[in-house]
Structure formats: structure tokens, C-alpha cells
Amino acid sequence: MAEVPNRESVDSIIPLCSQIPSIKSSVHIKANSFKYLDYGLQFMCSALMPTEILVRFFVYEDGLGFIKDPKYDIPDQKFNIQIGFDQILDVRVNFNDFSYEYSTSLPIVIEAANENLIEVTLIEVRGKNLRILQQRVIKNNQMFELREIFNPPNDDMDERERFCVVCMSYARNTIIEPCCHVCLCERCANLMRTQVNRKCPMCRQEVTSFIKINFK
């Protein structure tokens, strides 16, 4: 029979449901909108206020900012967009210049900045393949990672679909990490954290932590 850990050891294994701050975003680059084209790349951006988009090539991280890798001379490209949704931006660049086997710098970094915040998208280029490494938001000198979540409650769901998949009694309000499924209420998440084998009810992946979200 498996040994059940005591309360102290459980607390050291996995934290209580943590809460993350709510940030009202004024700009967002759609991660699934990136396309590799003959002349470069294309992506979509939505903005709630005038925003400057800066596309940078081969840069190093420097605190909350980036500095140019002197080994590469691909110039930055700047766009100014107004208020609007799903605005298409075309970046003209020769991907033949992206032979960076020995480079430790980031090949493409897109900074979307306005008076409210900065959103940063890090992109890897391998041949004709583009991969989003990470998206971040910087606000008030604090950095937050953007994560895609799966199956969050929404207005198109009926009332029962919004309930926790375990107890079917309380609203789903907890993200499971690392799979990012939203399928538990806070009560069931806190019960799950005391279990020896913690697996997501949706995909059966091992659970490392829980994040409580207040959905509106």
C-alpha cells in the first residue's frame, strides 16, 4: 500500500491554489495567426488604443528589454496601428539570413507597446517553421507570462457545462498546470492537492500546481 504523506510533506510538494492578478490588456498579438510567406511573415494584432509594433531580429535579453546581437545586421521594422481588431501586419524579411546555428540570441522578438503596457512575443525560426516560444506582458515594471488555457467557461456554454467536472456542483475556476485545463472548482483542486497521484481529469497529465481565476 502506498504511503500517504502527512500534511507538512503535502504542502512542500504542491502549493495551495494561487491567484494571479487580473490585467486589462490593451493590445494582443494572436499567437496562432503567424504565417510563413515568400516575402517574410504575417500576423494579426488587436489594439484598444494606438500602439507601436517593433519587430526585432537577433537580440539578447537585457532585464525587461532587449539589445541587438552585433553579429547580425537585419534592421528592425516598426509599425504604428490604430484601434481595431485582427489587423494584419506584413513583415518583409529574407529568411535565408536566418542561419544562426551558432547564435544564442533570439531570432525574432515583437514588442507591442502603448501607454498602458508592453506585450512581447518571442519567436523561433527553423527553416520554414515558426514557433512561438513565449508571450509576455510588461506592466508597471512587472513581467507576466501569457498562457493559453483550455475549455474556460464562456457565454456559449449552458449552466451545467460551467460546473467542475469532478463534483458537478461548483463553477470551474481553477487552471491545472502544466496542461492548462480549466476543469475544477477551487474546492476540488484543494482536495486533489492532498492526493498522492494527482492527474488532470481531462488529459491525465501529472499536476504540478493550481491557479485560481475569477472568470467574468
- Compute the CA torsion angle 65, 178, 147, 95 (nearest 10 deg): 60
Q: How many domains does the structure of the chain reveal?
A: 2
Q: Residue 196: what pLDDT?
A: 83
Whether 81 and 50 share a structural domain: yes
* pLDDT tens digits for range 54-72: 999 999 888 778 999 888 8
Q: Residue 6: what pLDDT?
A: 36
- State whether residue 15 is helix, strand or coil: coil
Would 138 be classed as within a structural domain?
Answer: yes
- State whether residue 68 is helix, strand or coil: strand
**Residues of the domain holding 128:** 27-146
Instruction: Write out residues in the chain with pLDDT < 50, as ranges.
Output: 1-16
CATH number, domain of 192, equals: 3.30.40.10
Whether 95 and 129 share a structural domain: yes
Whether 31 and 63 share a structural domain: yes
Neighbouring CB atoms inside 10 A of 190's CB total 15
Whether 138 and 164 share a structural domain: no
Q: Residue 213: what pLDDT?
A: 79
Whether 137 and 175 share a structural domain: no
Whether 122 and 190 share a structural domain: no
Q: Residue 147: what pLDDT?
A: 74
